[in-house]
Chains A and B, each alone.
Chain A
Amino acid sequence: MDVKTVRDVAKFAHIALTDEETERYCKDLGDILSYFELLNEAPECDERGVNPILVEDITREDVPKVEYDADVLLRDMDTYERYVRGPRLS
């Protein structure tokens, strides 16, 4: 794990790091990733589970329902004429 990678990953994750933090995370993540190398020794397995138990074929019918009062959901949001406020797009 090098400093540049930590910076790139942080940028993707939308987290700003100071130089001190970059150094620190670089070391921590380096240690942790070296430990993860243990996985290379682990036996292989053909089964592929998304969950530890088999969750299969759970769907609902296409029936529209209004289960929440939209105004209650908007209660704590920063809104303008019912639109949710956000930052600049470009």
Chain B
Amino acid sequence: MKIGLECHVQLPTKSKMFCSCPTEECEFPNTHVCPTCLGMPGSRPVLNRQVLVYGIMIAKMLNCEVNDTTWFARKTYFYPDMSKSVQITQYDNPIGERGVYYLDGKKPIRITRIHIEEDPGKTKRTSDLTSLVDYNRSGIPLAEIVTEPDIATPAEARQFLTQMIGDIRHLLNIPDDLEWVVKCDCNISVGTERVEIKNVNGMKHAEKALHAEMVRQIAMIKAKKKILRETRRYDPERDVTIGVRVKEFEDQYGYIDEPDLGIYHIKDLADSIKISESPQNMVLRMSSQYKIDQKMAKQLVNTSMDLAGLFEDVAKEFDTASAVKWVAGPVSASWRAMEDRGETPDMEKLKGFIRSFTEGKVTDTQCAIDIKSYMTGVDASAAMEESAGLESLINEFLDKNPKIVTDYQKNDKAANQVIGYVMKQTGGKYSSSEVVETAKKLIEARF
């Protein structure tokens, strides 16, 4: 079975792609509109530069070759929400081509191309089946990402979408709470003929639509029926795909160059754009580069990219062991506390504490207290007392339960057993990560 996807993601610009209308949601239909996005005769498009920037960022994240020169094309098709009956999109020389995305950091999914284009408006049906159209969305920029048919199963398609979209959200700084619909055209062939399921909304539906179509194709093959090369749509309520039309011509849109915009030399722009590594990639890379557990890498990256960055700095400046001991330990444990106080950790200061320890100026207990005291704002003597309090509680518990130490040597999760006890004794005064880090230190001291 082969599955390839064409995903459309909205780009978070403030104004539309070819006009200055605001992109923010609007309660009233046809309010954020102008002659350009309404396709009124005499209007003209002007490209929003930020759309090129976002397009290049995604292209780079997907390891695509960014074209030196890019331009736009007109795709003609008739539909009530398409105000010009022409969509300005890209045909040849799109922003990026020939990329690859590593699913779970391992399996390569080849990316055919990524291009930028404008969204149509929205239609709704009335009771007498005629349509009502809102063009507020008309002209909002989209990136279309096309993959090769490298995806093996519907579940894998969902996994791919979840990971890639998570990375794009992070890349373009799209807040977690913002609803951000991803639309897909899904191509699937169980046998030899390819079927396209158009306009599937969201990752969950993509998996379900592909699954429904897979089941249908398998049944057709079993019944020795011919599968038509066609376009279908997914009906989520009945969980089936429905044929919409048979493709008559390979190129039914009659693309031509868009003559109103000219061409764009994007090499310099692309060179100047440095994209941050995606969280997904960073976890995988750190785990293999520093030979640390993926969970630890994930914990660092998810807490903060800055924390993960500090880990790398310390590993480089001192050694990996110090990074694990200090950054993944007390620094990580108090990171949120510091953020909650509205402060930004001073990396040099933190490195200073670690240096004092590595140079033998302070004991490891003192170092841990210095770090905690700096980050939580609790003064050193109180931190020392607290820490002493915590340490003695854990030591008590370990004395009573020596098996934890032996278990720990097989599986470091054994340290988690102290959490419940300490939490209960202290009424949740310490964070669980702080407890675990301290416990690990004390257990290891007993080897």
Q: Tell whether A and B belong to one assembly.
A: yes
Q: Please report the C-alpha to C-alpha distance between residue A81 and residue B31 in the assembled complex, in whole angstroms.
A: 12
* 0 or 1 for each of A52-74: is its CB under 8 Å from B? (1 = yes): 00111111111111111010011
B contact set with A: CB distance below 8 Å: 13-15, 20-24, 28-35, 38, 40, 46-52, 71, 78, 80, 123-126, 129-135, 248, 252, 254, 257-259, 261-265
Main secondary structure of the interface of B (DSSP, over half): loop
Dominant SS at the A interface? Answer: loop
Contacts of B258 in A (CB 8 A): 50
| Contact indicator B21/A66 (Cβ below 8 Å) | yes
On whether the beta carbons of B265 and A64 are closer than 8 Å, the reply is no
Q: A50-B259, A65-B20, A87-B130 are in contact. Are A81 and B46 (CB under 8 A)?
A: no
Contact check, B131 vs A89: say whether CB atoms are below 8 A apart: yes
* A residues near B265, Cβ cutoff 8 Å: 56-57
Answer yes or no: A14 CB below 8 A from chain B CBs.
Answer: yes
In the complex, A51 has a CB within 8 A of chain B: yes
B48 touches A87 (CB 8 A): no
* A51 in contact with B50 (CB, 8 Å): no
The answer to whether residues A86 and B34 also contact, given A58-B262, A63-B15, A64-B15 and a CB cut-off of 8 A, is no
- Output the least CB separation between A61 and chain B (Å): 6
Residues of A with Cβ closer than 8 Å to B? 8, 12, 14, 50-51, 54-68, 70, 73-74, 79-89
Of the A-B pairs whose beta carbons lie under 8 Å apart in the complex, a sample of 28, sorted by A's number, is: A8-B248, A50-B257, A50-B259, A51-B262, A55-B261, A56-B262, A60-B49, A61-B49, A62-B48, A62-B50, A63-B14, A64-B22, A66-B32, A68-B34, A68-B35, A70-B30, A70-B33, A74-B30, A82-B29, A82-B30, A82-B31, A86-B123, A86-B130, A86-B132, A86-B133, A87-B80, A88-B129, A89-B131
